Amino acid sequence: MAYTVPKLKDFSPAALDGAVAELLSALEEESAQPGNADARKAFRDRWLARKDGILTQINELWLKAAPKDAKRDVGQRVNKLKAEVEQKVEAALEKKPAASADTSLDISLPGIRRPIGAEHPIIRTMNEIVGVFKNLGYSVAEGPVIETDYYNFEALNFPPNHPARDTQDTLFLANQETKPRREQLLLRTHTSPVQIRTMEKMRPPVRIVIPGKVHRNDPPDASHSPMFHQVEGLAVDTNITFGDLKGTLDHAMKALFGSSAKTAFRPSFFPFTEPSAEMYVSCFICGGSGKRGSDPCRPCKQTGWIEILGCGMVDPNVFEFVKHNGYDPEKVSGFAFGMGIDRIAMLKYGLDDLQLFFQGDVRFLEQFG
Amino acid sequence: MKLSAQWIREFVDVPVDNGRLAEDLTSIGIAVEGISGEGANTVFEMEIGTNRPDAMNHYGVAREAAAFYGIALKPIETSGAKAPRESESGNAALKRSSTQNPAAEAGSHSGSRSGTAGAAPSRSTSSAGSGFAIVIDDKDGCARYTAQIVRGVKIANSPEHLASRLALVDQRAINNAADASNYTLWEMGHPTHAFDLDLLQGGKIVVRRARDGETLKTLDGVDRKLSSEDLIIADANRPVALAGVMGGFDTMITDKTKNILIESAWFDPVAVRKTAKRHGLHTDASHRFERGADYGATSLACALVSQRIMESGGGELEGSQIDAVAREIDQAPVVLRISQVHRMLGSKLETHQILAILKRLGFELVPEPGAQPEFSVQIPSWRLDIEREIDLIEEVARLHGYNNFANTLPSFSGGVVENPETAKAAKARSTLLALGYNEAVSLSFVSNEDAETFSSTPVVELANPLSEEASLMRGSLLPGMLEMVAFNLNRGTDYVRLFEMGDIYEGSGFGTAEHARICFAATASALNRDMPQGGVLDKSKGEAGLDLFRSIKGDVERVLDAFEHNTLQYDDKSSEYYEPGRSARVLVNGAPLAQFGLLHPQVVTRRKLRQDVYVAEINAEELYKHSLRLIRYEPLPKYPGVERDFSFLFPDKVTFDQIEKAVQGLVITELRSFGPVEIFRGGSVLAGSYSILLRAKFQSHDRTLREDEVNDWTARIVSEMQKLGGTQRA
């Protein structure tokens, strides 16, 4: 039989002692009982609820009902009792309820996962890289995928009939034969045309980062795709040096791959930069050791270095094409760089097949959620 | 390209081991990508940039090593006869061990020949004592043609040491004459060719453009029709070689050959490239001529080849070299300002360091008068890539070592330009991600069939597509999307939600245009799985289509609602590839912005999609013209709201849009929301009508609502419903 607060007739100290003892013993008994969350809430409400909790009832049935001469004594006792009850109830609630097979849940069951979409690993990587340069004060520039020969080659110092054009297997648009060569349309083979387009629109200084899609006539296989992504950068001002190029890219790599990342540069050739360089970053898979545990590190071919981008000082011949807009190669200098995002994402996430990026396989994409 | 480490070391006493040599070469841009073999058989896998044909051979790499280590480059020994002018003084020079660059020595004599070329402006003819004539008809295409006749040769296999060296760099030995030419190419880089002299008709060689109708069977056995643009070598009667690309079949060296004519010429890069491209040929010779061969090396190469032929095949030289010079290759001196070196590289290299680097590379520097240090720099004949001051600055940086320059950060002026579309696209993207769509990227190409089905605009066609199925640029994101959905369904993944944001391509007359689009798709399985229980409206049995449609519609609305726009309007004019009656078009201010719905069953069948697929296409370009919705706070209600439900039977023709508009027409400001809760068809509901449970919520900002006013509004709503033909149910 559950405890109920008795109406008191006898307000003598002895009777009050008895009533208090009875109440506390009931509390003790109920505190000891195990309970799930619902039971615990009920227990708390029964004792402490403002509306009709046992403490409230004490107020009503004991204090308010007490004759005038006993009020002071009853008041003190009730106050003391209230404090004690509150403290004991809270203490009881703080105690871990004893586990009980019939009321507790199997917390090992899997959680309900509401579906969330995953960013595409290439777009995610591209955004990360663009973000680094935005933080350095670069503006984002974009340009068309279908370009003219002029922007994709000529103004980037690829003369007509130059073998350097062979290094970029170009996809051309049909029915262009009647146009002058520089107006013939093709799918841009790199994001570099946006350098020219930006310099035509903006006088120096300029510093831009250019994310985008590019295409080449490469049949798809594990490491090739006719479509891929690049991020390009360009900085032109009156004072830009080769050391600035190196310092900027070194900083960017540390921002992307952690402060222990190291960079190394070696000479290369691109028609639109001179001096030109390839940049290597210490392998972000093995940390530059060339080993993963006792196994050889495959991504860096055990060298500890990964070739990550091409860069260089803007070739004066490129500036000649936009000289009218303030780009006198005797007065300004600049650097440019470009990197393939797909390959970086492949290395970063350990893919061995580039095609996975373009199949839309949900089992693959969900891993990037 | 493979090179033998030992062969390189023949010309320079490299003070380090092969591994270190490879690293050092790589550090100056003569990249060794891999090392294989050991000891004498060590092979470097090289990657030489298109601008450095001079380093695409053993001697050229040795020259770079000598420059890097600051040590002497040995001359190539030759006992062979030289062109008459060289034989007077040049031979001796070539043998001087202190001569770092024998080819340069040969080249340095070119100045004395300018008179010859000048005397024969249109046509250059030379002949030796034998009476054999070299005629350069096309001096643009051929600047110099050096030849040597060797008589009495026995064609045989090459000696073992020569054949095994060629094998080391992946070259197949053929016979001693062909191998001598090939060996020389790999040794010092100059391409040469050996003709069977007795098969050349008329006692002369003519370098000219082909005539229309002429043909040539090349060494590979292919009969080629020549064009008037092809630069060829001819004898008195017919073409005998594609100049700088490949020799002719009918004049090649065979077992029967006794007498040989060695060709060592300088052909124009563009002429060779065009000829090679036209015939789809790419040979070791064309690769080098296209990139610029050493004008000064023809005589040396010719001498080396004849010497090697005679070493293994005997015979003797007939007279000396015939050296026809049509024009000089002009390598004007380049001015180098030390101030420019500092401006570009940002490093205070001392002038003497700069000079030392350039001298080691074979440049000759003469100080120019003036306040600032300046030099006139003479370019060695093998460096056709050096034409400008910046080219010299690169040489300085390269040899100094890129990694020896300090990393600095530039101080910038100017501000940042924000692209407003970036934030809009980012918002649309994050919304779709939150709605559970996985981001996908598909290729840009589509087939003709897909373009016809899914594109309404003129297509963009590729001239050289990867395949027939990828011959057009996409005019819609949908074909790629459906391919990806099918890919998943075919692999047992039924729950598919994908989106792609990207450009589509439109042909417009002579030009093209690119438009931003958003496309997303969900399979019926995915929509069903993610359907919130309270979201199901349709309680009719066996009819889930309504709520699946509403599900994709809601996703479209989520994306659009991020942007400021007037009320969206919907109509049924979706494209043909949607199922009529289960798809819709969204318009803003009368302009279409999106379409969505169930894919047409025909498309589902043709694509072999294994279940219903709902898709949506948003014209992102139009969407981004709207600004992002400005978010403003609305005070939260302080007073309780009151809900009222209404159950009506309506004829099928009455749409919810009509019901909603009728209620809105009442202008009850306290009406906070009004919408359907359940819809039911069939069962006790007569065909041609449906039952709908509607719920209205009233709430005021400034008071608790009274029973009588709510009753009044309710009655007015009921009355409107009845006007629409609705019958209230109990």
Ranges of beta strands (E only) in B455-527 are 460-461, 472-473, 497-508, 511-523
Q: What is the pLDDT of residue B541?
A: 67
Residue B274: closest C-alpha in chain A: A161
Asked whether residue B105 carries a pLDDT value surpassing 60, the answer given is: no
Q: Rounded to an integer, what distance in angstroms lies between the CA atom of residue B480 and that of residue B443? A: 7
Is B347–A243 a contact, with Cβ atoms under 8 angstroms apart?
yes
Residue A225: closest C-alpha in chain B: B443
Q: Rounded to an integer, what distance in angstroms lies between the CA atom of residue A125 and that of residue A280? A: 18
Is B497–A117 a contact, with Cβ atoms under 8 angstroms apart?
yes
Residue B266 maps to a domain:
yes
Q: Are residues B389 and B321 in the same domain?
A: no
Among A57-61, A230-234, B661-665, the least confident range: A57-61
Asked whether residue B222 carries a pLDDT value surpassing 80, the answer given is: yes
Residue B414 maps to a domain:
no
Q: Are residues B321 and B338 in the same domain?
A: no
A177 vs B519, higher pLDDT: B519
Asked whether residue B121 carries a pLDDT value surpassing 50, the answer given is: no
Asked whether residue B5 carries a pLDDT value surpassing 50, the answer given is: yes
Q: Using pLDDT thresholds of 50, 70 and 90, give the confidence band for residue A98.
A: low
Q: How far B300 CA sits from the closest chain A CA (Å)? A: 26
Residue B418: closest C-alpha in chain A: A139
Q: What is the pLDDT of residue B100?
A: 41
Q: Are residues B307 and B426 in the same domain?
A: no
Q: Find, among B242, B237, B301, B249, the residue nearest to B271 by Cα.
A: B242
Asked whether residue B92 carries a pLDDT value surpassing 80, the answer given is: no
Residue B32 vs residues B404, B440, B664: alpha-carbon distances, Å: 20, 38, 77
Omega prior to B601 cis, within 30 of 0: no
Percent of chain B with pLDDT over 90: 79
Q: How far B352 CA sits from the closest chain A CA (Å)? A: 20
Sign of CA dihedral B141, B147, B152, B153: negative
Length of chain A: 369
Only one residue has tokens 């072999």, namely B608
Contact B437, B522 (CB under 8 A): yes
Q: Are residues B145 and B291 in the same domain?
A: yes
**Mean pLDDT confidence for B290-305:** 93
Residue A161: closest C-alpha in chain B: B270
Is A116–B443 a contact, with Cβ atoms under 8 angstroms apart?
no
Q: What is the pLDDT of residue A100?
A: 58
Determine the structural domain holding residue B174 and report its residue range. Answer: 98-325
Residue A173: closest C-alpha in chain B: B462
Q: How far B27 CA sits from the closest chain A CA (Å)? A: 5
Among A200-209, A308-317, B94-103, the least confident range: B94-103
Domain count for chain B, please give it.
Answer: 5
Contact B206, B145 (CB under 8 A): no
**Mean pLDDT confidence for B330-357:** 92
B577 vs A59, higher pLDDT: B577
**Mean pLDDT confidence for B283-308:** 93
Among A205-209, A245-249, B108-112, the least confident range: B108-112
Q: Chain A within 8 Å of B458 (Cβ-Cβ)? A: no
Q: Chain A within 8 Å of B405 (Cβ-Cβ)? A: yes
Helix (H, G, I), strand (E, B) or coil at B558: helix
Which of B26, B390, B439 is nearest residue A266 as measured by Cβ atoms?
B26
**Mean pLDDT confidence for A237-253:** 96
Q: Chain B within 8 Å of A144 (Cβ-Cβ)? A: yes
Is A251–B434 a contact, with Cβ atoms under 8 angstroms apart?
no
Which of A171, A205, A266 is nearest residue B413 as measured by Cβ atoms?
A205
State how far Cα A96 lies from the chain centre. Answer: 38
Residue A248: closest C-alpha in chain B: B409
Omega prior to A275 cis, within 30 of 0: yes
Contact A197, A165 (CB under 8 A): no
pLDDT digits (tens, 9 = 90+) for A170-191: 999 998 888 999 999 999 999 9
Residue B92 maps to a domain:
no
Residue A269: closest C-alpha in chain B: B49
Q: Chain B within 8 Å of A149 (Cβ-Cβ)? A: no
State how far Cα B41 lies from the chain centre. Answer: 36
Q: Are residues B347 and B480 in the same domain?
A: no
**Mean pLDDT confidence for A52-62:** 86
Q: Are residues B13 and B139 in the same domain?
A: no
Q: Are residues B49 and B170 in the same domain?
A: no
Which of A118, A243, A358 is nearest residue B441 as measured by Cβ atoms?
A358
Q: What is the pLDDT of residue A76?
A: 87
Tell me the three-class secondary structure of B616-629, residue by residue.
Answer: EEECHHHHCCCCEC
CA dihedral B67, B68, B73, B76 (to 10 degrees): -90
Among B222-236, B334-348, B524-538, the least confident range: B524-538
Q: Are residues B489 and B385 in the same domain?
A: no
**Mean pLDDT confidence for B324-339:** 91
Q: How far B21 CA sits from the closest chain A CA (Å)? A: 15
Contacts of B412 in chain A (CB under 8 A): 137, 205, 207, 235, 237
Q: How far A227 CA sits from the closest chain B CA (Å)? A: 6
Q: How far B282 CA sits from the closest chain A CA (Å)? A: 11
Which of A123, A167, A202 is nearest residue B50 as measured by Cβ atoms?
A167
Is B496–A362 a contact, with Cβ atoms under 8 angstroms apart?
yes
Residue A301: closest C-alpha in chain B: B34
**Mean pLDDT confidence for B424-439:** 97
Contact B67, B293 (CB under 8 A): no
Q: Chain B within 8 Å of A326 (Cβ-Cβ)? A: no
Q: Are residues B240 and B363 in the same domain?
A: no
The CATH number for B724's domain is: 3.30.70.380
The domain ranges of chain A are: 13-96, 121-368
Residue B319 maps to a domain:
yes
Is B473–A243 a contact, with Cβ atoms under 8 angstroms apart?
no
CATH superfamily of domain region A121-368: Bira Bifunctional Protein; Domain 2 (3.30.930.10)
Is A145–B503 a contact, with Cβ atoms under 8 angstroms apart?
yes
Q: Using pLDDT thresholds of 50, 70 and 90, give the confidence band for residue B98.
A: very low
Q: What is the pLDDT of residue B117?
A: 36
Q: What is the pLDDT of residue B89?
A: 36
Residue B105 maps to a domain:
yes
One-letter amino acid identity for A134? K
Asked whether residue B104 carries a pLDDT value surpassing 80, the answer given is: no
Q: Are residues B61 and B124 in the same domain?
A: no
Q: How far B420 CA sits from the closest chain A CA (Å)? A: 10
- The mean pLDDT of chain B is 89
Give the residue from B287, B344, B391, B527 with the most A CB atoms within 10 Å of its CB, the best one to mutate.
Answer: B344
Q: What is the pLDDT of residue B455?
A: 87
**Mean pLDDT confidence for B88-97:** 34
Q: Rounded to an integer, what distance in angstroms lies between the CA atom of residue B465 and that of residue B467? A: 5
Q: Using pLDDT thresholds of 50, 70 and 90, give the confidence band for residue B413.
A: confident
Q: Where are the alpha helices (DSSP H) in A204-241?
A: none
Q: What is the pLDDT of residue B124?
A: 65
**Mean pLDDT confidence for B86-98:** 35
**Mean pLDDT confidence for B679-703:** 92
Q: Using pLDDT thresholds of 50, 70 and 90, give the confidence band for residue B115.
A: very low
Is A139–B419 a contact, with Cβ atoms under 8 angstroms apart?
yes
Q: Are residues B39 and B171 in the same domain?
A: no
Contacts of A247 in chain B (CB under 8 A): 406-410
Asked whether residue B363 carries a pLDDT value surpassing 70, the answer given is: yes
Percent of chain B with pLDDT over 70: 92
Among A residues 228-287, those touching chain B with beta carbons less than 8 Å apart? 235, 237, 239-244, 246-248, 250-251, 264-269, 274-277
Q: What is the pLDDT of residue B79?
A: 64
Q: What is the pLDDT of residue A145?
A: 97
Q: What is the pLDDT of residue B93?
A: 34
Q: How far B686 CA sits from the closest chain A CA (Å)? A: 39
Q: B207 forms bridges with which residues in the sheet?
A: B136, B233
Contacts of B408 in chain A (CB under 8 A): 241, 243-244, 246-247
Q: Using pLDDT thresholds of 50, 70 and 90, give the confidence band for residue B304.
A: very high
- The mean pLDDT of chain A is 90
Residue B415 maps to a domain:
no
Q: How far A26 CA sits from the closest chain B CA (Å)? A: 41
Only one residue has tokens 């094998």, namely B167
Contacts of B529 in chain A (CB under 8 A): 115
Cβ neighbours, 10 Å, residue B261 = 25
pLDDT digits (tens, 9 = 90+) for B571-591: 999 999 999 999 999 999 889
The CATH number for B501's domain is: 3.30.930.10
The last residue of a domain, from among B593, B623, B653: B623
**Mean pLDDT confidence for B190-218:** 94
Among B residues 264-293, those touching chain A with beta carbons less than 8 Å apart? 269-270, 273-274, 290-291
Q: Are residues B110 and B244 in the same domain?
A: yes
Among B residues 373-402, those touching chain A with beta carbons less than 8 Å apart? 388, 390-391, 393-394, 397-398, 402
Q: Rounded to an integer, what distance in angstroms lies between the CA atom of residue B490 and that of residue B608? A: 9
Q: What is the pLDDT of residue A163?
A: 73
Q: How far A225 CA sits from the closest chain B CA (Å)? A: 9
**DSSP string of A138-202?**
PEE----SEEEHHHHTGGGT--TT-GGGGGS-PPBBSS-TTS-GGG-EEE-SSSTHHHHHHHHHS
Asked whether residue B251 carries a pLDDT value surpassing 90, the answer given is: yes
pLDDT digits (tens, 9 = 90+) for A60-71: 888 888 888 888
Q: How far A229 CA sits from the closest chain B CA (Å)? A: 11
Helix (H) or strand (E) holding B262: strand B260-267
Residue B631 maps to a domain:
no
Cβ neighbours, 10 Å, residue B328 = 16
Asked whether residue A101 carries a pLDDT value surpassing 70, the answer given is: no
Q: Are strands B569-571 and B142-151 parallel, antiparallel or unpaired?
A: unpaired
